Structure 1
Amino acid sequence: MLWVDKYRPKSLDEVELYPELTEVLKRLAESQDLPHLLLYGPSGTGKKTRAMSVLRHVYGPSVYSLRLEHRSVQVTDSKVVDIATLSSPHHIDINPSDAGNYDRVIVMQMIREIAQTVSLQSSTSNGVKYKVVLLNEVDKMGRAAQHALRRTMEKYMSTCRLVLICNSTSRLIAPLRSRCLAVRVPSHSKENLTKVIRRVCELENRPLPSPAFMATVTQRSEGNLRRALLMVEAAAMTKVDFSGNGADIPQPDWRVFLDEIANDILSEQTPKKLHEIRGKFYNLLGQCVSGELILRLVLEKLMSAVDPALRRPVVALAAQYDHNMKLGTKTIVHLEAFAAGVMQLLKQK
């Protein structure tokens, strides 16, 4: 089992970081009448962990009796969409953005289904007569789906509570935000990352990392605790010296691939090279690396290498195609158009 899963807190009492936030969630859970919750913050800060810990406080350990199901949902007369869900006797965990343009239908059907079947176990064991729908990446849902979600959460308030998880609230419609209690989960500081990693290393009987090693981990992880733990575990598996500066910590293959794409754009601006880059974009998308992440990291690499006079137009291109990606469905088209646009700017220089 990966360290990030092995040492994941299972209850609010085990969540050590940001105790004031944990105390707020504990009071909400103890009230036995949860409001709709909106947990937002950067990736790897513990939003999902805190959400599950709240549910455990409300329902008990049975929320971790999870089963994976693949459901087929009839979205039109001729179209069926398959979506994966995790569920316990008390809640269901879904990612509506997996359904693409059919997220509105998925959200309405799933919530209606769980809201109309109140858990017998819940109503008799601890007096809680509602179930919980945990929705991931709600900021990636379309506006129509968000409006449908708002209407549905009002209709089934008596038998269903929603826990929404996202990285940013800026893409959520105001009526949806106003119907939830928003809880911001902040990015982890260097001190927090160091504290957790040193404790995990002690439990795993590994040498404690040096300050220089931790500086590299915190810089590369960007406050993402999940990424930091994966990096340290990868370093341990590949026998990296924890007393060094961490420069030889292995990078994920997809991250190396992104650096190659940026270097390809900078090195040669030809149709042949663009065709090669398109193939690399396809490879990354096939490995479930999101288009937004690809665009952001390629942009970061380009910004450190292009002429200062080109930085503003390159950023403008990235913003344009990031916006277009959210409106369209073919991510590869917008990534390739961004690469072609940057190549054109470099060629005209």
Structure 2
Amino acid sequence: MSRKERDRLKVVEAVREKRLKQGEAAKQLGLSLRQVKRLVRAHREEGAAGLVSKRRGQPSNRRIEEVERTAVMACVRNHYADFGPTLAAEYLRSFHGFTRSTETLRQWMIEADVWAPKRQRRKRPFQLRERRSCVGELVQIDGSPHAWLEARGPRCTLIAFIDDATSRLQYARFEPAETTRAYLLGLRAYVTRFGRPAALYSDRHSIFTKHDPEDPTPTQFERAARALGIEPILALSPQAKGRVERSFQTLQDRLVKALRLAGIDTVAAANALLPRFIEHYNARFAKTPKSTQDAHRALEIEAEPLRWATSEQYQRTLSKVAVVPVPGAAVPDPDPGGAGLSPACGADHRL
């Protein structure tokens, strides 16, 4: 007998010995008066054995048929063997008509040794930073070099812009490497679509800051951000920009598998898939901001000045170069003013 059944036995014996009324026994056991009468009758006819459940050792009447379980696990092994239970359940519901809970699938996958449960995470040794209140108040930017195409294609980097208030994936694009030009293109695309955010939050990569304290010249990205009136903020640790770091953990799981199932093996095709994936990702993981106000500001700049501001710009020195005369052609004067000018400085920009 279980402990619960032994407790019931003492109460039922007290009722049979007239030491306790049936109504009081019902209150103690949390049962109806009819249930207490049934227990008393079973004890009278069978003794203590009458209080033991007749279903013990038998399968539940609500159990899922083994045929369905076998079919689901076969589908998981064939298509989603390295998926976690939550992601596998989403794909099964979308494409295979799966109607059971995620927890049911998790237990099946554990019993079949398809998935191992994770250890309980330790408590964070640092205090979480609260989200910003408004969309566009702070945008976290970062790049993630990873085998996004696995062995089917080249290794590349995902450049991502994550809104701090909502965790929405605002911009994402695959690039061959994490470069200044990749971030400048991302910044141009972001402000064209959403407007200018109040601040950009990044790590201390050389793209965003110079590590020489004696060099006051800003980096290309810092110059472009300030030209647009956007404040660049540098994080002192990876935990400080945890929104984008955790987003990359999720993307390295879900996006890699989405690219695999779509059979994508080129960076161009992966970029073509991204808009649809971003829409699904935001619907699944985006949070509601505390404030409905949008902190993005109007762009207030034409297309050509924006292209100039978000391009790589370098200073070049113009010098007098000997010109080889061409028969029949006029030879240009290198110093038409005749003032004996020294080499001049000019600007070179790469769009």
Which category describes the TM-score, using the shorter chain as reference length? under 0.3
Structure-1-length-normalised TM-score: 0.20
- Higher Cα Rg, which structure: 2
| Bigger helix share | 1
Structure-2-length-normalised TM-score: 0.20
